[in-house]
Amino acid sequence: MKKMLLMIVAMVFIMGPFTPASAYNQAQLTKVQNGEKKCSGFDLSGADLSKMNLNNINLSKANLAKANLSGAILTDADLSKSKLGGANLSGGILYGVDLSSADLSGANVSNVNLAASHLKNANLSNADLHDSDLRGSDRSGANLSGANLRGALLR
């Protein structure tokens, strides 16, 4: 028992105190919910933004890892260089969105309208893109390794 306690203390000392993966900033989430459009760099990891109208929002460089954006409308939004790993964007409308250099690894992007979007250099590895519309999107340099593209519209 004493050894285990010492090991836990040593791990906390080495790795730092535990912080949950879904530790979004409540003040920043409230700004988004109230219609703020200049949200670059916000920490919304794990936040519930489902079915929200986020047209023309600037969330570049934001942390949206494991966030719930299912059914959200993000037409012409700027999500460039954002962290969306493990996020749920299923059923959303992301027409014309800028996701260049964004990390969407392991994200659920199924049944999403991504037509005319900018996915240049985006990381979509192991993302679920089944039944999504990617027609007219710029996917140059995008990492699609392991991505599920079953039923996706690509041309």
- Domain of residue 94, residue span: 41-155
Using alpha carbons, select from 69, 59, 140 the residue that is nearest to residue 111: 69
Cα-to-chain-centroid distance, residue 2: 42
Whether residue 8 has pLDDT greater than 90? no
Structural domain count of the chain: 1
Contacts of 10 by beta carbon, 8 Å cutoff, 6+ apart: none
Contacts of 100 by beta carbon, 8 Å cutoff, 6+ apart: 80, 81, 118, 119, 120, 121, 122, 138
Whether residue 153 has pLDDT greater than 80? yes
CATH of the domain at 52: 2.160.20.80
Cα-to-chain-centroid distance, residue 123: 11
Q: Does 46 fall in a domain?
A: yes
Question: Could you tell me the pTM of the whole model?
Answer: 0.84
pLDDT score of 2: 57
Q: Does 34 fall in a domain?
A: no
